[in-house]
Amino acid sequence: MRIYSKQDLNDYHQSLTYDDISLIPTEISRIKSRTEASTSCRFMGIEMGVPIVSSPMDTVTGIEMVEALNQFGCLGILNRFDSSLESILKGDGKTKKIKAVSVALNISIDEVTKLAERGYIICIDTANANNKEVLLKTEEIKKKFDVKIIIGNIAQGGSLEQLENAGADAVRVGIGSGSVCSTSIQTGIGIGQVSSLLDVLFEKEKHKLNISIIADGGIKSAGDIAKAIALGADAAMLGRMLSGTKETPGEVIKYSGQLWKKYRGSASFGVKMRNEYIEGEETMVAYKGTVKNVIDSISDGLRSSMSYMNCFTIDELKKTESFAVLSNSSYIERLPRM
């Protein structure tokens, strides 16, 4: 069996996603217990306990989710449809725990001023960062204010240097890979997340850029997060994994004897509320209880992966150079069977 490096995977003749690869332990691990591995890291100048960022979707990140994630050292990005955004712009003391907010591309400079004055990270929430208007808006904000800016999304690294030069501090990588995203079906755009992340990583290294990489989309498990970090991502953005928890916006619905919560894409009809072009789906997910359960499970899985890979730190995991490319049968063989 061939062991692939990051460069080998980047040169692979097909587009790859998380299910197409696995991490291969090739060293005797120094780690006696997974508790010795540390998931803490620095992301955009923020000390994080786990490299997790919540997606700014209206059924994922409201005030409760932001505050809960803060407790676990994760970053919650308040969705731009949340009514709390008005309180933020007014300087309401109840929103002090919020660190980042998502905004539309057409946000006014007055609103940006209020966010900048209060030290918020600004996430320009668009589907396509390879857009002149995104560059212009980023440049406009960065020239006037000393704020951190997250933009996205991109599928490969061709424009990465331009994005950093415009002032972007982090970029969301992934187009069409979200579980309720239909962009690839509607437009034919997008490649596998593994190939997306590697293309961006090598462009970052080639031009010696400082921009942070956020793996956004396609993540279904703690194992996928470990893969994303091993491929060079600085953080993983989660939507579906956090959906259905107590802290997500929306009511718990009882149906057929089970509890559910709503989950939908940012470009779904439920968000737009009008019959225009739709690139997102709506669904129901089983109620998962408190988000602490999800974060604890992710942390445990990530630490276990690190112990297998002989990595005490997230930075060590990011240096991984031993991967396998799986056949379909190899992938299926690893799935639990009841």
**Residues belonging to the active site:** 181
Show the tokens assigned to 75.
């970053």
For residue 282, give the amino acid letter: E
Residue whose structure tokens are 């933020």: 88
Coil, strand or helix at 205: helix
Q: What are phi and psi of 215, to 5 degrees?
A: -80, 115
**CB atoms inside a 10 Å sphere around CB 243:** 28
Cα 9 from chain centroid (whole Å): 21
Q: What are phi and psi of 306, to 5 degrees?
A: -65, -35
Buried b (16+ CB within 10 A) or exposed e, 16-38: bbbbbbbbeeeeeeebeebeebe
- Cβ atoms of 175 and 154 within 8 Å: the answer is yes
Tell me the CA distances in angstroms from 189 to 51, 84, 182, one per residue in order: 27, 33, 10
Helices (H) and strands (E) counted in the chain, each on its own, are 13, 15
Q: Can you tell me the distance from the alpha carbon of 272 to that of 275, in angstroms, rounded to the nearest whole number?
A: 8
